[in-house]
Amino acid sequence: MIRLLQFILAISLLVLLHEGGHFFFSKLFGVRVEKFFIFFDLGIGKWSGKLFKFKPKKSDTEYGVGWLPLGGYCKISGMIDESFDTEQMKKPVQSWEFRSKPAWQRLLIMIGGVLVNFLLALFIYSMILFHWGDTYIASKDMTYGMKFNSEAKALGFKDGDILLGTDKRPFKDFSVDMFRDLSSATRVDLIRDGKKMSLPLPGEISLLDMLKAEPSFARPFIPAVVDTVLPNTPAAKYGLAKGDTIKAINGKAVDSQNEVTFELGVLEDMMTSAKTPADSMRIRTATFVIAKAGAPGTQHLDTIQTVLTPELRFGFAPKALNQMYKSTHVDYGFLESFPAGIKYGVAVLKGYVDDMKYVFTADGAKSLGGFGAIGSLFPASWDWYLFWKMTAFLSIILAFMNILPIPALDGGHVLFLLYEMVTRRKPSENFMIKAEYVGFGILILLMVVANLNDILRWLGYM
């Protein structure tokens, strides 16, 4: 419910300001806005679809909230849009209509929403840095190094390597930017066994494969040392204590919490084939080898058999990364926050644009997510820092997606306006109507695919 509330609040804010951008430039150039709605008011039968509406006296604009949270819209007089109001277009051109204005004014009206969303994202990022600063764990300070999968090891990586950077730039922290750089780098710099060295890289590694691999290409190496024992769990009943180390699970040696997580994940996969309670109990019954905490040379090993929780948990947690490594914190003054926020926002946009090439692959299409996937990105508890960071990210996505040259999106209208400005000829109204239908069909198809992916993931088929 908290995730849902954050999602609705973020989307409502972004839609309001996006449509506000169109509204501002329309009013600036004397264009009439007939309707200004957050969410779509798609009617059903005799019901108008409007949850709320009002029209101020002496105003040409009806304001309201629709029931379908797929976006919002400004109905601007004298243009072909998602309302498909062709009757108005048959009437003589009026001075207050969109179609009566110069192309440059119409262009500004159409990019107004995208411009507001992008500037909003930069402003939010700047205010995040001003209020909270920037706290992160530098990759060079992750002294246990990384844990790598078999594909990474085939390229020359070894568990425990401390990653420093590539031929492109030094790494800041462990994030998707690190994977982006590794995917296109021809060299990676690292520390191995206390010595600096470099590895050649192919320059073309699929970022999508790196991120979706299980286990992933690289992840911080976390020792399988107990920090916290959860009450009323198998670990607590056994007497597991802080400082104990997990050495093996079901006869398989583990050298890190990464492998503990992987082996428990194997049991989760096995659970999907369990057909009877006896099958489930057999899978939940696991054998652990534990090195009890003690002075070096005095540790002894215990082998225990226990029944895991129904969620296949033993009941302990290792140290969090911010407890294992020193954090770097940078504060920003009010004026300093703006160039830093702009730089951060531009980097986010660049990364998102670069990743779009994967959408046109089979795996990329499967990775598309709808409202469920977006909503799940918000934290389960209310956190203003994460809320604003996620809202800024969605604002950038909304800006980029809307500027794509697809009819029915702002970018489609911009494309036709640029054509008009170059050729001095307007596309015909018949063409614009057909293009709007095609674009609307494409958007519906993308929406169906993205949300169907969410459903299939929820059902366990993806």
Q: List Cα–Cα distances, 352 to 43, 65, 127, 357, in angstroms.
A: 35, 30, 21, 10
Of 127, 2, 5, nearest in space to 389 by CA: 127
Tokens of residue 37, six digits: 């709605």
Q: How many CA atoms lie within 13 A of 335 on its CB side?
A: 0
Of 189, 196, 171, 190, whose CA–CA distance to 181 is shortest? 171
Separation CA 146–CA 139 (nearest Å): 9
Task: Please state the length of the chain.
Answer: 462
Q: Which two tokens stand for residue 105?
A: 């004014």
* Those residues with Cβ within 8 angstroms of residue 408's Cβ, 6 or more apart along the chain or in another chain: 82, 435, 436, 438, 439, 440, 442, 443
The answer to whether the beta carbons of residues 156 and 180 sit under 8 Å apart is: no
pLDDT per residue as tens, the chain (462 positions): 888 888 889 988 999 999 999 999 999 999 999 989 888 877 777 777 788 888 888 888 999 888 877 778 888 888 876 655 666 667 788 888 888 899 999 999 999 999 999 999 999 999 999 999 999 999 999 999 999 999 999 999 999 999 999 999 999 999 999 999 999 999 999 999 999 999 999 998 988 888 888 888 999 999 999 999 999 899 998 888 898 999 999 999 998 998 999 899 889 888 888 889 898 999 999 999 998 887 555 567 888 889 999 888 899 999 888 889 999 999 999 999 999 999 999 999 998 888 777 776 666 666 666 667 777 778 888 889 999 999 999 999 889 988 988 887 888 889 989 988 998 888 887 888 788 778 778 877 877 777 777 677 666 665
* Contacts of 334 by beta carbon, 8 Å cutoff, 6+ apart: 130
Tokens of 201: 């890289």
Buried b (16+ CB within 10 A) or exposed e, 209-225: ebbeeebbbbebbbbbb
Count helices and strands (H / E) in the chain: 16, 17
- Determine the angle formed by the axes of helices 2-28 and 384-403, rounding to 10 degrees: 50
- Taking the C-alpha atoms of residue 442 and residue 65, their distance in angstroms, rounded to an integer, is 25
**Sequence-ordered alpha helix ranges (H) in 73-137:** 86-89, 103-132
Q: Are 300 and 291 in contact (CB under 8 A)?
A: yes
Strands (E), 127-184: 134-136, 146-148, 162-166
Classify burial at 278, counting beta carbons within 10 Å of its beta carbon; exposed 0-12, middle 13-18, buried 19 or more: exposed
